[in-house]
Amino acid sequence: MPDGDRDRAPNAAERQALNFTTVILCACLFLQRFGVPLGSLSVSLVGPIGLALAFLGLLTGALAFSTWRLVAFLALTGIAALGMIWQSSVPSSFDGGSQVQSTAQFLLLTSFAVFSFAQPVSERRFFDRVNFWLAVIAVAGIVQFVAQFAGLGLFAFTGLLPDAVLFEARYNLQIPIGFAGLFKANGFFLVEPSVFSQFMAIGLIVELLSGKRVKYLALFSTGLILSVSGTGWIVLASFVVSAALGMGLRGLAIAAGTVFAAAVMALAVVQFAPDLADAFGERLGEVSRMGTSGHLRFITPFWLLDDVLTRAPSAALVGIGGGISEKLTMPYDYNVNTPIKVALEYGFPALVAYLSLFVLGAKSPVQGGLVVPVIVLFLFTGAYQQFPPVLFLLLLLISVARLRPDDPPAALPAGYAATGAARASISA
């Protein structure tokens, strides 16, 4: 059982919240590649499932509205509406008009953030549940990678299942490592190796902050390596820095231990899998090379921001319209990450309201340690604002889940003293 033995059995409200957690986690992890037809498009199946479960939880009393996040969401909606009014009345500097469907989808998916557990749930039980399911994905990814040596490879469901139910076409599911005909592990159920690496980093961070169970640390570390993706390491590095700077002596110890373990893993890879080490080395230099995924992901969004604001300075306040940032004609190929997309399409005031949905509300100690890496993952490792399998999972971890620490207050790290006070004064 993923929760393990506990001194006190969960009450009815806690069981409801944990059941909600399990269903959301399973949807976000196992249904990433599945979609539902919507006209000529296909949208992620996880979106309607997650929102339906949230409203059901509200009706049954398992969930409640978070007052401050509801206010922030209404502010975001108002800013987006004002932007649409502006764009309809002022000639646009860009081809194409604002897409109401894109804005509606953005706001609908974002509304998941306004929910919160109605009653606090044991932090340990919650994160045991989270890491149990992340460990299942780790095992799937490791088995998937090792199976290649036996001539077995299954990295995509296309061709096995009807295209009408799949959401795979826009993602890079099968990416060669660059030697021996091997492909990067994508977690079997996840859409890309990069997403697999990011989730492995989150599982590793949760384990470092709470359980420190060797088998889980080994699973997540192995999955992170076999993804051969740099974004998971970026998420882990952001945690190391935030822990060292914000968690006192305990944070310094965790950061030092993580760096030491990463160095040992790196040396082991160099010694026993030099080809894999070379593949990682290639990834390190991608940011400076045009056309590579690293350059597209981390450099071109800021080129786009500069070019758009030069042509339309008003976009800083009101944006250029939902869905437009991805369809601009530029003299270079580009990607948009989450903050650039939200800022360009709805304005910087909307971005502030949007980010507040991740930080408002009391955080338990483990949630407090997760805030920085989760925000780095969400903002800079992909465009996840309208991809519910990642959006919902991250919001669940640091916003929707209302948790209570299992340790007595005296045992909490000094850096979290304010969190306890906040928990007493802020509802969910």
Q: What's the pLDDT score for residue 418?
A: 40
Of the candidates 69, 65, 48, the residue with the CA atom closest to the CA atom of residue 57: 65
Cβ atoms within 10 Å of 37's Cβ, excluding its own: 11
Measured on CA atoms in the order 188, 193, 195, 196, is the torsion positive or negative?
Answer: positive
Whether 75 is in a domain gets the answer yes
pLDDT at 94: 67
Give the mean model confidence (pLDDT) for residues 191-219: 93
Identify the residue with better confidence: 152 or 288: 152
Question: Would you say residue 426 lies in a domain?
Answer: no
Residue type at 101?
A: Q
| Average pLDDT value for residue range 200-221 | 92
Tokens of 303: 């080129």
Sign of the C-alpha dihedral, residues 291, 293, 294, 298? positive
Q: How confident is the model at residue 414 (pLDDT cuts 50, 70, 90)?
A: very low
- Under the banding of pLDDT at 50, 70 and 90, the label for residue 207 is very high
Asked if the structure places residue 427 within a domain, the reply is no
CA distances 269 to 78, 139, 177, 260, 280, Å, are: 51, 19, 14, 14, 10
- H helix intervals, 40-122: 46-60, 67-89, 100-110
pLDDT single digits (tens) 85-115:
888 777 666 655 557 888 999 999 999 999 9
Question: Is pLDDT of 198 > 50?
Answer: yes
pLDDT at 18: 95
Q: What mean pLDDT, rounded, does the chain reach? A: 85
* pLDDT confidence of residue 117: 97
Residue 404: the pLDDT is 93
Chain segment 301-328, per-residue pLDDT in tens: 888 999 899 888 888 998 888 888 888 8
Question: Are the C-beta atoms of 301 and 337 separated by less than 8 Å?
Answer: yes
How far apart (Å, rounded) are the C-alpha atoms in residues 235 and 84? 34
User: How far apart are the C-alpha atoms of 143 and 156, rounded to whole Å?
Assistant: 15
User: Is 202 inside any structural domain?
Assistant: yes
Where residue 63 falls among pLDDT bands split at 50, 70, 90? very high
CA distance 346 to 362: 27
CA–CA separation, 196 vs 261, rounded Å? Answer: 20
pLDDT(153) > 70:
yes
Pairing state of beta strands 41-44 and 35-38? Answer: antiparallel
Of the two residues 277 and 199, the one the predictor is more confident about is 199
Q: Is there a domain that residue 414 lies in?
A: no
pLDDT for the residue numbered 411: 41
pLDDT in tens, 326-340: 888 888 888 888 899
Q: How many domains, in total, are found in the chain? A: 1
* Mean pLDDT value of segment 189-211: 93
Going by pLDDT thresholds of 50, 70 and 90, the confidence category of residue 416 is very low
Integer-rounded Cα Rg, in Å, for the chain is: 22
Task: Considering only residues 38 and 257, tell me which one the structure prediction assigns the higher pLDDT.
Answer: 257
8 Å CB contact between 360 and 400? no
- Mean of pLDDT values over 196-219: 93
Residues 6+ apart with CB under 8 A from 345: 102, 103, 319, 320, 321, 322, 323, 324, 325
Domain that includes residue 365, residue range? 13-404
- On whether residue 3 sits in a domain, the answer given is no
Across 335-369, b (16+ Cβ under 10 Å) vs e yields bbbbbbbbbbbbbbbbbebbbbbbebbbbbbbbbb
pLDDT, residue 4, reads 45
Q: Which residues are CB-neighbours of 413 under 8 A, at least 6 positions away?
A: 247, 248, 250, 251, 365
Structure tokens at 224: 């992170």
- Residue 120 makes CB contacts below 8 A (sequence gap 6+) with 402, 403, 404
**416 within some domain:** no
Q: Is 115 helix (H, G, I), strand (E, B) or coil?
A: strand
109: its two tokens: 């998916």
Q: Give domain status of residue 418, yes or no.
A: no
- Position 91 scores a pLDDT of 67
The neighbouring-strand residues paired with 158 are 161
Residue 267 pLDDT greater than 90, yes or no: no
pLDDT in tens, 363-391: 999 999 999 999 999 998 888 888 999 99
